[in-house]
Amino acid sequence: MHLDLSGKTALVTGSTQGIGEAIAVALARAGARTAVNGRKPEAVEEAVERLRAAVPGADVVAAPGDVSTAEGAAALEATMSNVDILINNVGIFGSKPALDITDDEWRRYFEVNVLAAVRLTRTFLPGMKERGWGRVQYIASDSAVVIPAEMIHYGVSKTALLGVSRGFAKEAAGSGVTVNCVIAGPTHTGGVEDFVYQLVDRSLPWEEAQREFMRLHRPQSLLGRLIEPEEIANLCVYLASPQASATTGAAVRVDGGYVDSIVP
C-alpha cells in the first residue's frame, strides 16, 4: 500500500518532541507539507531542522503557538491558511493522588488536552468541509478507557476526546472529511521516561525500569513493552490517507493490546 499525501497540508500540534514529532516526520515522508507546532519558537525551529534532516526535501513550516489559549490558536490560524490534515496531539500528563488534584489542575488538563483540540477543529474543519476533503485526528490514550488510579485527571481528559471526536465526525458527515480518535498505548518518549521513574526506583537502568513499570503498572499489555512513537505515527498516516476514506467516527487502537476488549 502506497500512502501518498502529496499536495496536502498537515498540522500536528505539540510536534517538537515525542509522538507529535514522530507523526510530523511520518507525514512529511508521505509527501505532506507539514507544520510543526509548539509553545516555544526556538523548540519549533529545532524540530523543523531535525525533520528536514530526517526527510531531505520535505516541505516543512514552523507554526509556533500555545494552542491551549484562544490567542495561541488565533496566531496559528494566521500562520496556516488551508489545513487538510489536523492532528490534535498536544497534551500534558502526570501522576498525582486522586484526592490531591485541585480544581485548577482539573481546569488545566481540560484546557490543554481537550479544549485546544476543540478550538482547532472549530477553526479548520469548516474549510475542509468546503473543499470536500480533510482529516481530523485526536491522539487519545488507553487511559481514556482504563482510567489510571494515579492520574485520573489525565484519563478523564482523554475520555472526553473520544466524545469530541465522535461528535465532530457527525458534524462532518457526508462531507468527505473523516474524524477519528487514535487510542495510543503506553509509549516510549522522554516524558514517559520521567513518568516511569516517578513510579519505579530511579536507580534502575532504563530497560529494567521499563520492564518493572510494565509489570507493576501496565500488566494488561499484550505487547509487554512500551510502544515506539513511530508505531503510533504509522497509524496516523494511514488514517490521514485517501485509503482510509471509509474510517470515520472511530476510536482506533494502537495500544499493544492493553485495553482488554475484543471491539475497537
pLDDT truncated to tens, each residue of the chain (264 aa)? 899 999 999 999 999 999 999 999 999 999 999 999 999 999 999 999 999 999 999 999 999 999 999 999 999 999 898 999 999 999 999 889 999 999 999 999 999 999 999 999 999 999 999 999 999 999 999 999 999 998 999 999 999 999 999 999 999 999 999 999 999 999 998 878 888 999 999 999 998 998 899 999 889 899 988 999 999 999 999 999 999 999 999 999 999 999 998 887
How far CA 36 is from CA of 60, 62, 173, 202, in Å, comes to 7, 5, 28, 33
Q: Which three cell numbers stand for residue 75?
A: 496566531
Identify the pLDDT of residue 192. Answer: 81
CA distances to 3, 76, 139, 180, 262 from 183, rounded to whole Å, are: 21, 25, 6, 10, 14
Active site residues: 154
Note the helical H segments in the chain: 18-29, 41-54, 70-79, 103-110, 116-131, 152-171, 190-199, 206-217, 229-240
pTM attached to this predicted model: 0.94
- Taking alpha carbons only, the member of 4, 18, 12 closest to residue 34 is 12
- Give residue 224's pLDDT: 83
Show the domains of the chain with their CATH numbers: 9-185+232-254 (3.40.50.720), 188-226 (no CATH)
214 Cβ neighbours under 8 A, 6+ residues apart: 186, 221, 224, 225, 226
pLDDT value at residue 174: 98
Helix (H, G, I), strand (E, B) or coil at 262: coil
